[in-house]
Amino acid sequence: MSSKSIIFHIDVNSAFLSWEAVYRLAHRGETLDLRKIPSAVGGDMALRHGIILAKSLPAKKYGIQTGETLLEAQRKCPGLVLVPPHYNLYEQCSGAFMEILREYSDMVEQYSIDEAFVDMSASCHLFGTPVETATLIRNRIREELGFTVNIGVSCNKLLAKMASDFKKPDRVHTLYPEEIESKMWPLSVSELFFVGRATTKKLFSVGIKTIGDLAAADPVWLRSILKKQGEIIWGFAHGVDCSPVLSAPMPNKGYGNSTTIPFDVVDIPNAKKVLLALAETVGNRLRADNVQIEVVAVGIRYTDLSYMSHQRHLTTSTNLTSEIYKYACELFEELWNGAPIRHLGIHTSRIQDNDFSRQLTLFDTTDYEKLARMDRTVDTLRERFGIDSVQRAIFLNQPIDHMSGGISREKRSVDYDKLKPLHTPNI
């Protein structure tokens, strides 16, 4: 990016909780604003998805963190108001958010469901200065959609993202190269993009506490400690980032789905049902993108949270549900140590274009073309009439969802009529 580039990073403040609050106020007739009380969006402990997905600013004051268990959060704040996730709503809010951004530039990169980079270099002059334009977008999102955002303004993606993380909520911040020393270097090194907990701990152990300390360090010495990451984060500490804003997503390097099972799996038949449900969703995604895979892997997380995985390179590429399932079962039986299982996943890689070519063997009598037609027919029916319109008989009256992985069914929608009315917590 050149110094003349104008890059925005727009980040929704407490996205899931904000979207939930706006929906309840505007469409459910509720009067209590979740954003103004200690509250959080959390999974269902009964289904073993009991973690905090988003929290309000008042909840943050109690030390509640995204990713911690509901039990941990409730110990910190016994009066914490918890609401269930509603991903269908979140996707609609995200779509409306992105539509507004695309009115200001055709170069919008959706970075996640609640944040995006926007290259305003060619269009900013139509609306005013960079800060005026960012303020215009921020105000419009608040007034039209009801939730707030932070916008970081700079000449590259890294600095724009760092700026958007400054004081919240509902703010516009700049972080130009000449402002790095005063605005970014005093921050803890843990605040720098690409520096996680393990790296922070290692940097602290060698006396690097702030981003300024990192910027002043010898990059050769950093490489000796952190290998290539050392050089990368040294560059980040100096505001170096040449990555462009990509309006079209990069092709997937792998496809996978995993699921936390609502009960401990202790036998092969139940494990294979879960693997079949995962193979259904992975195969569907591969066929939707018209690609095939050459590597299948299975991952197992046991009830003690230990994790193991095993993979296989295939002799020919595939996107058939039945083949993915067959290889997943073989890998599972080779990998499983007999301990109770909490979480299973199927992951694939070595993506190839779907050219329908297959290396046949002399004794293989499988009609692969027939299997492919069947998969495509099932995909079409599910797309037209819903994913439950066609399901295998083995899943009838079973606790295992016939298409598992990704965002689970219970997180997709919420029956608000069955929820208890919200009350101001007694803190």
> Would you say 261 and 344 are in contact if contact means Cβ atoms under 8 Å apart?
yes
Task: Count Cβ atoms below 10 Å from residue 240 Cβ, excluding itself.
Answer: 14
Q: Can 115 be counted among the known catalytic residues?
A: yes
Q: Which of 115, 191, 330, 334 is catalytic?
A: 115
Angle CA 389–347–333, to nearest 5: 95
Strand partners, 105: none
CA distance 166 to 139: 18
What are the angstrom distances between the C-alpha of 176 and each of 152, 179, 232, 391? Answer: 10, 5, 19, 55
**Closest alpha carbon to 191 in 161, 235, 148:** 161
CA distance 232 to 152: 21
Cis peptide bond N-terminal to 169, omega within 30? yes
- DSSP state at residue 180: I
Residue 113: CB partners within 8 Å, gap ≥ 6? Answer: 15, 90, 91, 94
CA distance 344 to 332: 10
State the amino acid at position 191 in one-letter form: E
Coil, strand, or helix at residue 190? Answer: helix
**Closest alpha carbon to 286 in 245, 314, 309:** 314
- DSSP state at residue 244: P
Residue 56: CB partners within 8 Å, gap ≥ 6? Answer: 14, 17, 34, 35, 36, 37, 38, 39, 40
CA 180 to chain centre: 29
Annotated catalytic residues are 115
